[in-house]
Amino acid sequence: MPLLFKEGRTLLSVQGLMQRRLELLDSPDKELKEVYWNNYFQTSDAIIMHCTRKFKIVLDSDHLRNLTPQSKLIHGGLVLTQEVYVCLDGVEFTTKDLESYANKYLTEAQVNNNPIWLALARDSVLLKEYAAKMFAMGKKYDYDTNMTIYLAAVAKQPIIRSFCSRELADGARCDVLSDVSLDYVRGRLVGVETLKTQSDKNLETKIRFSQN
């Protein structure tokens, strides 16, 4: 993470990955398309599991961005205090929400009305477009359900992890995982660098990859 930010890049979010995958669907660059569609990515969006069986989703988490090799992790997660959890600006869910929206296979209609997916997508129109493409492409693997959200087990104290978006492939359904360790040896980050060009005042986005 420090190397990524040293190069002036920011960490890709779940929303950014969704947008990029859609942009590349009709791209003639098959290699780049395969990179995005056939790989999983850890993102800047965080989930904090609470000991009371509540959890928060925090978009573009500063805690994730500030991770260093010296950060103290327990079971692959960064431990927070109760006071920090309360102060975090995010969408909070309860045990009942876990049973209703997560840890189970979803239909397209359930995805579009899933408040966890809506929080990560940040845009209901984007979510509907993305889900439509996922379910259409999933038919190749005989998938009638897709885009499951897997949540980590509750810990004794608040623990923060990164949402990891999976690939669409035989055995993977573009699921989102929240139980991947922050020190996972095969972790994969995407750095997004925004540059201004001389000839064009518009912002141009450059993507680079950082893999442990």
As a whole number of angstroms, the longest Cα–Cα distance in the chain is 55
Whether residue 210 lies inside any domain: the answer is no
pLDDT tens digits, one per residue of 101-120: 988 989 999 999 999 999 99
Whether residue 89 lies inside any domain: the answer is yes
The pLDDT score that the predictor gives to residue 184 is 82
Whether residue 181 lies inside any domain: the answer is yes
Whether residue 200 lies inside any domain: the answer is no
On the question of pLDDT at 209 being above 80, the answer is no
pLDDT tens digits, one per residue of 26-42: 999 999 999 999 999 99
Whether residue 208 lies inside any domain: the answer is no
Q: Round to whole Å and give the CA distance between 153 and 155.
A: 6
Task: Name the H helices within the chain.
Answer: 2-6, 14-23, 30-37, 62-65, 82-87, 95-101, 108-112, 115-121, 124-138
**Helix (H) or strand (E) segment spanning residue 104:** none
Q: Round to whole Å and give the CA distance between 196 and 186.
A: 32
The pLDDT score that the predictor gives to residue 140 is 87
Enclosing domain of residue 53: 13-186
Q: Round to whole Å and give the CA distance between 41 and 211.
A: 10
Whether residue 86 lies inside any domain: the answer is yes
Q: Round to whole Å and give the CA distance between 205 and 133.
A: 24
Give 131's contacts (C-beta < 8 A, 6+ positions apart).
108, 111, 112, 117, 146, 147
Residue tagged 């988490």 (tokens)? 61
On the question of pLDDT at 210 being above 50, the answer is no
Q: Round to whole Å and give the CA distance between 49 and 28.
A: 41
Domains: count for the chain: 1
